[in-house]
Amino acid sequence: MDAEMATVKTGTSTIGICFSDGVVVGADHRATMGHFVANKSVQKLFKIADNLALTTAGLVGHAQSLSRTLAAEMNLFQLKRGRNMTVKGAATLTANILVGRPHWVQLLIAGYDDEGGHVYSIDSAGGSIPDDYCATGSGSPYMYGVLEDQFKQNMSEKDALKVAAKALLASAQRDAASGNGMDLAVITKSGFRLLDEAQITALIAQC
């Protein structure tokens, strides 16, 4: 790790959870430089297609560049093929990009296709691993404590959202590099839906 990377490396909490009809994906808002809170409203959850989302942990510049690249690739695929890329295809493409030019990031690719909802964890060297649920970033140990306790196969959208919110709240309580609110989105056959602030506030009140 060079001096620049050590300076701008960010702490993060991001999460993806499969449920009966799709996938829930979320991320916190805080960016840090060491012990300093550099920004309280960083976007770490990106819509890259109508059926796909990307979450990012790591260097902000690398994350933003990847989100733009992937959104462009998904759009080109849709224009050429007349359909959206599968979640596995998007994860494989992302992994191949990282193999060719490593980025200082840890990513989640989450989405819905003909086979249902999927979450893939992708490391900075291009490793791609599917799972029923996944968390990344410095807050991930606290989120996994919630996920291991409360995740159930084929859970409802409402329950998956509650678990995601609880996990992100847990990381905000215990991880100094995570917090300042959250973004949550649901991806189903109907497409990508980002929860608004009022919906997130109501959801947190139920946790």
List, edge to edge, every strand of the sheet that includes 14-19: 133-136, 14-19, 22-28, 182-188, 191-194
Percent helix, strand and coil across the chain, each to the nearest 5: 40, 30, 30
Amino acid symbol at 56: T
Q: Does the annotation count 12 as an active-site position?
A: yes
Amino acid symbol at 150: Q
Q: 47 and 22 in contact (C-beta within 8 Å)?
A: no
How far apart are alpha carbons 97 and 62 in whole angstroms?
A: 12
Catalytic residue among 10, 12, 55, 136: 12
- Please tell me the number of Cα atoms within 13 Å of 174 on its side-chain side: 16
Q: Which residues are catalytic?
A: 12
